[in-house]
Amino acid sequence: MQSIEALIPQAGFDDTAGLREVGAEEVARYVADPGHPWWRRRPCVIALTGRVPERYVPELIACVQDPQDTSEVRRALLDLLADRTELLPWLRHEDRASDTSYGMGEAFLKARGLLGDHSAARELATLAASPWRSARDAGDAGLDGLVDRYGADAILAELGEDHPEDREFRVWMRYRGDEDVTYALADPDRRVAYVAQSLATDADRLRAYLDEAPTTEAKVWAAYALYGLTENRAEARAVYERLGRPRVEVEGLDEEPAMRSSTSTVPVVSA
């Protein structure tokens, strides 16, 4: 059997299958030693998935809790130890806010969600609405953990609808439940409306919504979503004409059509 060093000869090159063949205790002992390079320790953490030796759990937790350890290893360990409820009091402690190591704030919240801490729902919803992929993925994973444990209705009730990110989460839950999301095309927050149009899958429902929508902007979102589904340019133009060729106002955006089409994310169907 090859050594861990031979299986991870340099950063970015690791033999995952080979590491899985190394004894779990040897791998855990390697991870727990911060003297080893982080780029070797992190693949070793992943190789421990589903086979963490109980005797090494305290040492691995100590690595998670050590702010001097490398954040890449600590984040991987939090994923590995996502079922260890003894971590929860430490994760919820106010001192975690002072740990500014790269990505750790997101990792703490994600872990709280995976461990069933419903008090993290508010922050996780905000994280899930982030424009940054890593933050969004962490928020989604944490919320999924809460939903798996308590059910979507309980988490939706916890969040309410006062914040755009809460309403965005509701749209996602309805989509996953094969429920209609067209109502959210009229959301006052354009990000929520954008998410709703991206998840709309029923062209007939969108056509019907064109007559039901309470605002012109909601109708434009519906037309945009409809075109995304059908790619029927003639239908999109006809809808645009029927709506009176609306132009959605965006504060601070030039009125020139060319400028609007090149800088705005708001859908405007061209004639």
In this predicted structure, the answer to whether residue 266 has a pLDDT above a threshold of 70 is no
Q: What integer pLDDT is reported at residue 257 of this predicted model?
A: 53
Element housing 116 (H / E): none
In this predicted structure, the answer to whether residue 201 has a pLDDT above a threshold of 50 is yes
Element housing 132 (H / E): none
Q: Quick one: what percent of the chain has pLDDT higher than 90?
A: 83
Place of tokens 């067209």: 182
Q: What integer pLDDT is reported at residue 221 of this predicted model?
A: 95
Write down the H helix ranges in the chain. Answer: 4-7, 16-21, 24-31, 38-47, 57-64, 71-80, 88-92, 104-114, 121-128, 133-150, 152-159, 164-176, 190-199, 203-212, 216-230, 233-242, 257-263
Q: How far, in Å, CA of 203 to CA of 232, rounded? A: 11
Residue range 81-110: mean pLDDT, rounded: 94
Cα distances (Å, whole numbers) of residue 137 to 22, 56, 109, 126? 30, 29, 11, 12
In this predicted structure, the answer to whether residue 259 has a pLDDT above a threshold of 80 is no
Residue range 86-115: mean pLDDT, rounded: 95
Cβ contact 196:239 at 8 Å: no
pLDDT tens readout for residues 110-150? 999 999 999 999 999 999 999 899 999 999 999 999 999 99
Give the 3-state secondary structure of residue 207: helix
In this prediction, residue 18 has a pLDDT band, given cuts at 50, 70 and 90, of very high
pLDDT tens readout for residues 25-72? 999 999 999 999 999 999 999 999 999 999 999 999 999 999 999 999
Question: Exposure string (b/e) for 41-79, b if CB count within 10 Å is 16 or more?
Answer: bbbbbbbbeeebbeebeeebbebbeeeebbbbbbbbbbe
Task: Give the pTM.
Answer: 0.82
Q: Quick one: what percent of the chain has pLDDT higher than 70?
A: 92
Q: What integer pLDDT is reported at residue 240 of this predicted model?
A: 86
* 271 or 16, which is more confident: 16
For residue 52, the Cα-to-chain-centroid distance in whole angstroms is: 27
Q: What integer pLDDT is reported at residue 86 of this predicted model?
A: 95
Mean pLDDT of the chain: 91
**Which pair of structure tokens corresponds to residue 136?**
């969004």
Q: What integer pLDDT is reported at residue 261 of this predicted model?
A: 44
Q: How far, in Å, CA of 159 to CA of 182, rounded? A: 21
Residue range 162-179: mean pLDDT, rounded: 95
Residue range 184-203: mean pLDDT, rounded: 95
In this prediction, residue 255 has a pLDDT band, given cuts at 50, 70 and 90, of low
In this predicted structure, the answer to whether residue 264 has a pLDDT above a threshold of 90 is no
100's CB contacts (< 8 A; 6+ apart) are none
Q: What integer pLDDT is reported at residue 247 of this predicted model?
A: 77
Q: What integer pLDDT is reported at residue 243 of this predicted model?
A: 87
The β-bridge partners of 10 are: 13
Cβ contact 47:16 at 8 Å: yes
Element housing 11 (H / E): none
